[in-house]
Amino acid sequence: MKSLLSVITTFQESRTTRQNLKLLGRFLLLLGGMVVVYSLVFHFLMRLEGREHSWLTGFYWTLTVMSTLGFGDITFQSDLGRAFSMVVLVSGVFFMLMLLPFTFIEFFYAPWMRAQAAARAPRELPPATRGHVILTRHDPINRVLVPLLQQYGYRYVVLVPSVAEALELNEAGVAVVVGDLDDPKTYRRLQADRAALVVAMQGDKLNTNVTFTVRELAEHVPVVVTATSSAAREILTLAGATHVLRLEVMMGQALARRVNGTDAVAHVVGEIDGLVVAEANAAGTPLVGKRLSESFLRKQTGVNVIGIWEQGQLAAAWSDTMIKHNTVFVLAGTQAQLDQYNEMMCIYHLSDAPVLVIGGGGVGRAAGEALAARGLDYRIIEKEPGVSWDPGKTLVGDASEVKVLEQAQLRRAASLIITTHDDDTNIYLTILCRRLRPDLQIISRCTAERNVATLHRAGADLVLSYGSMGANAIFNLLRGRNTLLMGEGVNIFSVRVPASLAGKTLAQGNVRSRTGCTVIAVEAGGRRTVNPPADHTLPPDGELFLMGTLAAEEQFLETFVRSRGRR
């Protein structure tokens, strides 16, 4: 009923609809007038033939003839009467069987359907709306972000410029509003001044317009935007953006950090509240073939192995975990402890060969700069001439051709990074390069989340999803959490020790089996214990550092934080 009222209201408010209804009314009046005139002529001709009929009979005859239902009980005997019948019949075919249906569809049914469609693509939010997220695009990042917002109870709306796009998204179950992205009235109708976050991921110029427009209406609402260059980042900051994300740079740097084919030292991935997290390759070291308890890494360096990457999967590290040639350690500790680890492992130099990067666009360029900052040599294969920023390290050619890969020295490359934005191309290149180099570390970018598993099956050792990375970055800004994205949707995050766990040991809390999160560190009184033992007691005023997926994090909060609040 509510939907019907919305359709009727939209239908009535349309100026075009009101005009069409007037035209339809005039046509019906004309048709009614014809029926009256034909009925009068019917009576006149019947009297000439010496017969009398009631006025109801006259209307009955006129309508049956005009609608071509046929003659039967009432017919003319004279030629004049039959000629009149033919005129009524032909005009009826034209007006009632052809013009009337067309007029009804054009002036009534079609506007009604458009009004119904417009009702499913609203142009405003209720005045009481607050704490919502406004998205100005439905791209691969928002395709990951929208389910996250739905899962964790955040209200959102996607702003699109056309009704057609709005209807398509509405059919897919996405909350949409139609409006011009650069119109201040649009954001007033979206209650932007009471929003929790506004996200703009268009081009730099349109992002600037959106940011400036929103900032004029809402001074304190956080605005997250993307930028393609340092200059654009500065302009967007001046326009009032709260956070400016250079996603291509973030992706390129993340891909480069995962390169472990050149040495065995630890490469820092990130830091969270002073806890430094790094990754290190086990290949080429005496650790291969041993159990983790036999490595004595913690005793010799102080670092803790909090997880291991194997074939793109991040698993918890146990004392009996077997170290393989493709094992990548996830290490946690202080910078001094990681330096100690590097002093011990720096003698295991695996290769002087360059890292091969396929794709010289924004992501490939950022990956090359990050590799150069680490002191690693690299080569870029780029299909389009003049795209790459460093011609001296660029080979122009199609990486799908074996001769080009051979020319780029794929046979001796330390690692391979695939950075193109086309997932089909990345899958093709992964299969090809895996066949040519079975022992090569292959790291690939992925645009659509659904292709992550496919790339792993194709042979990629690690896949970083562009959509997942961007969605996680925006989602963490929304929540205000201090979180470190490890890749594949796995985060390291911190949280105060819940009251339901305070005073219990880790074994009693059973956090991992109940939530999927792994406790990697506990801090209390300025002292931090990394990889605490099972009998470690959780202090009531302490802080936990946990590793897990967003789903595991939500399960942790649901199990130990919110459940207590409901009691």
pLDDT of residue 419 exceeding 90, the answer is yes
**pLDDT tens digit sequence for 457-499:** 999 988 888 888 888 888 878 877 556 666 556 777 788 899 8
Task: Evaluate whether 479 touches 494 at the Cβ level (below 8 Å).
Answer: no
pLDDT band of residue 103 (cuts 50, 70, 90) is low
Q: Give pLDDT, residue 320.
A: 85
**pLDDT tens digit sequence for 231-276:** 999 999 999 999 999 999 989 988 887 787 667 788 887 777 777 8
CATH of domain 133-245: 3.40.50.720
Average pLDDT over all residues of the chain: 82
Range 326-339 average pLDDT: 84
pLDDT band of residue 211 (cuts 50, 70, 90) is very high
Q: Give pLDDT, residue 297.
A: 84
Mapped onto helix, strand or coil, the DSSP state of residue 312 is coil
Q: Give pLDDT, residue 10.
A: 47
The count of other CB atoms within 10 Å of the CB of residue 94 is: 12
Distances (CA, A) of 536 to 277, 386, 503, 513: 22, 58, 10, 17
Q: In the structure encoding, which two tokens stand for residue 32, read together?
A: 């009614």
Q: 355-467 has which fold?
A: Rossmann fold (3.40.50)
Apex 441 CA angle, 439 and 443, nearest 5: 150
- Does this model's pTM top 0.95? My answer is no
pLDDT band of residue 403 (cuts 50, 70, 90) is very high
CATH of domain 263-345: 3.30.70.1450
**pLDDT tens digit sequence for 130-143:** 999 999 988 888 88
Distances (CA, A) of 400 to 271, 424, 429, 444, 488: 37, 12, 6, 15, 26
Give the C-alpha separation, 305 to 322, whole Å: 13
Q: Give pLDDT, residue 384.
A: 84
Distances (CA, A) of 294 to 341, 437, 496, 533: 16, 31, 33, 17
pLDDT of residue 417 exceeding 90, the answer is yes
The count of other CB atoms within 10 Å of the CB of residue 234 is: 12
pLDDT band of residue 32 (cuts 50, 70, 90) is confident
Give the chain's largest Cα–Cα span. 125
Give the C-alpha separation, 201 to 210, whole Å: 10
Range 310-327 average pLDDT: 77
Instruction: Specify the range with the lowest mean pLDDT, choosing from 97-111, 190-204, 375-389.
Output: 97-111
Q: In the structure encoding, which two tokens stand for residue 276, read together?
A: 């430094």
Q: Where are the domains of the chain?
A: 2-119, 133-245, 263-345, 355-467, 489-566
**pLDDT tens digit sequence for 371-390:** 888 788 899 999 887 766 67
Q: Give pLDDT, residue 210.
A: 92
Instruction: Specify the range with the lowest mean pLDDT, choosing from 187-191, 283-287, 337-341, 546-550.
Output: 546-550
Apex 459 CA angle, 141 and 360, nearest 5: 55
Backbone angles phi, psi at 518, to 5 degrees: -110, 125
pLDDT band of residue 4 (cuts 50, 70, 90) is very low
CATH of domain 2-119: 1.10.287.70
pLDDT of residue 114 exceeding 70, the answer is no
Residue 37: exposed, middle, or buried by beta-carbon count in 10 A (0-12, 13-18, 19+)?
exposed
pLDDT band of residue 6 (cuts 50, 70, 90) is very low
If one compares 15 and 19, the residue with the highest pLDDT of the two is 19
Task: Evaluate whether 503 touches 540 at the Cβ level (below 8 Å).
Answer: yes
**pLDDT tens digit sequence for 159-177:** 988 877 887 887 788 888 8
Within this chain, domains 133-245 and 355-467 share the same CATH topology: yes
Task: Evaluate whether 333 touches 276 at the Cβ level (below 8 Å).
Answer: yes
Q: Give pLDDT, residue 565.
A: 46
Q: Give pLDDT, residue 3.
A: 47
489-566 maps to CATH 3.30.70.1450: yes
Within 276-330, residue ranges assigned H as helices are: 297-301
Nearest to 186 by CA among 165, 209, 153: 209
